[in-house]
């Protein structure tokens, strides 16, 4: 099996430890074992699979620390260790994964600081490190991450100030100890920001409204607002006029025909509703009874949602840049 390039064992009932001799699969580019029952530590020998581009160990029962040898996987583009029982600190060597685009370490027991070396992950666009026990500040060199469009650090113990990251579209810092004020002119400094989640931080957090006139009605506990922080404007609601000019007596239908039409319509809607209910509950029953199918389905939805979101954000950002560039040149 030394020539094996893709190993996908996801959504099964496999358990036990991940084997240390996996390092013998030197040509492996994809290793996916999500949604199983593996336990024990993450093998340090994974760091020898230098051709890996995709590593997913999520949704297992792995514990212990993230070994620093994972920093040797310099070709890695996606790393998902979420929903395990990993603890200790995030190794600074992960900052060597210069090709990494997607990083998910959420829902573990990771503590310590976010490594400063993460500022070297210049291709990173989706870091998800929520639901851990991280503390300290968000590294100030995160503004170097020019491809960063999504950042979720919620449900940790982070403190300090909110960083200004120009390309960011989504930032979730809720349930932390973030304090201070929103930066002045944040709407100009972070022009692509669409969602900023700050709920349940320290009450000492405030909003400097002196240069943010559009924030005049914003509550510090607000869970989301739009990119330019412009106030919501009420659009005129155009109501359709009552069409009373039609005389039902001019339709040319007999009363019996009308009753028959109504019966056919009711039967039509009943058949549609029955078909929908049968299909819906059929899927639900399969999801409940067949665990592997359920895991695969949820996993597919999660991955599809993540990828669609990232792709949409990237495309929108590029379109905005193109429009701004043409406007300036014009």
Among 141, 31, 106, residue whose Cα is nearest residue 75: 31
Q: Do 251 and 258 meet the contact criterion of CB atoms below 8 Å apart? A: no
* The predicted structure's pLDDT at residue 219: 39
Positions of E strands within 157-313: 157-158, 170-172, 181-182, 195-197, 206-207
Start-to-end CA distance of the chain, whole Å, equals: 60
Antiparallel, parallel or unpaired: β 195-197 and 150-152: unpaired
C-alpha neighbours within 13 Å on the C-beta side of residue 328: 5
Residues paired with residue 195 on neighbouring β-strands, in sequence order = 170
Give the Cα separation of 325 and 318 in Å (integer): 10
Q: What torsion do the CA atoms of 221, 227, 229, 230 make, to the nearest 10 degrees?
A: -140
Q: What angle do CA 102, 103, 106 make, to 5 degrees?
A: 135
Other Cβ atoms less than 10 A from the Cβ of 297: the count is 15
Residue pair 18/42 in contact (Cβ under 8 Å)? The answer is yes
Between the CA of residue 39 and those of 34, 64, 298, what are the distances in Å? Answer: 12, 10, 22
Rounded-to-integer distance, Cα 168 and Cα 159, Å: 20
**Rounded CA gap, 160 and 136, in Å?**
7
User: Along the 330 residues of the chain, how does pLDDT read in single tens digits?
Assistant: 778 999 999 999 999 999 989 999 999 999 999 999 999 999 999 999 999 999 999 999 999 999 999 999 999 999 999 999 999 999 999 999 999 999 999 999 999 999 999 999 999 999 999 999 999 999 988 888 989 999 999 999 998 888 888 889 999 999 999 887 777 777 788 888 888 888 887 545 555 554 443 443 333 334 343 333 333 222 322 233 333 433 434 344 345 555 556 676 777 777 788 888 788 787 777 767 766 666 677 777 777 777 776 777 677 777 877 776 676 565
Q: List C-alpha distances in Å: 33 to 36, 57, 80, 81, 276.
A: 7, 5, 10, 10, 34
229: number of CA atoms within 13 Å, CB side? 24
Domains by residue range for the chain, with CATH: 6-103+112-123 (3.80.10.10), 269-329 (no CATH)
Q: At what angle do helices 291-329 and 255-289 cross, to 10 degrees?
A: 110
The pTM of this model reads: 0.66
**Residue 52 burial (CB < 10 Å; 0-12/13-18/19+)?**
buried
């Amino acid at each position: 099996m030394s020539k094996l390039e893709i190993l996908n064992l996801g959504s099964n009932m496999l358990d036990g430890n991940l084997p240390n001799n996996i390092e013998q699969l030197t040509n492996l580019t994809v290793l996916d074992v999500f949604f199983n029952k593996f336990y024990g530590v993450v093998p340090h020998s994974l760091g020898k699979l230098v051709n890996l581009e995709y590593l997913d160990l999520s949704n297992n029962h792995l514990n212990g620390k993230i070994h620093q040898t994972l920093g040797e996987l310099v070709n890695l583009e996606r790393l998902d260790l979420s929903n395990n029982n990993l603890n200790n600190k995030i190794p600074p060597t992960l900052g060597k994964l210069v090709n990494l685009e997607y990083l998910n370490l959420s829902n573990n027991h990771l503590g310590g600081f976010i490594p400063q070396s993460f500022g070297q992950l210049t291709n990173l666009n989706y870091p998800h490190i929520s639901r851990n026990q991280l503390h300290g500040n968000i590294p100030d060199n995160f503004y170097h991450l020019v491809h960063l469009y999504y950042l979720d650090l919620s449900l940790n113990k982070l403190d300090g100030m909110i960083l200004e990251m120009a390309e960011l579209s989504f930032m979730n810092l809720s349930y932390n100890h973030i304090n201070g004020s929103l930066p002045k002119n944040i709407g100009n400094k972070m022009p692509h920001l669409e969602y900023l989640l700050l709920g349940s931080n320290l009450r000492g957090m405030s909003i400097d409204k002196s240069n943010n006139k559009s924030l005049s009605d914003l509550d510090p506990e607000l869970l989301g607002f739009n990119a330019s922080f412009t106030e919501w404007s009420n659009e005129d609601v155009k109501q359709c006029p009552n069409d009373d000019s039609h005389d039902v007596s001019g339709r040319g239908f007999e009363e019996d025909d009308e009753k028959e039409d109504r019966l056919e319509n009711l039967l039509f809607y009943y058949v549609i509703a029955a078909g929908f209910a049968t299909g819906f509950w059929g899927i639900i029953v399969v999801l409940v009874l067949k665990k592997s199918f359920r895991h695969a389905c949820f996993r597919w939805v999660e991955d599809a949602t993540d990828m669609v979101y990232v792709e949409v954000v990237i495309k929108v950002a590029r379109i905005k840049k193109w429009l701004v560039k043409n406007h300036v040149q014009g």
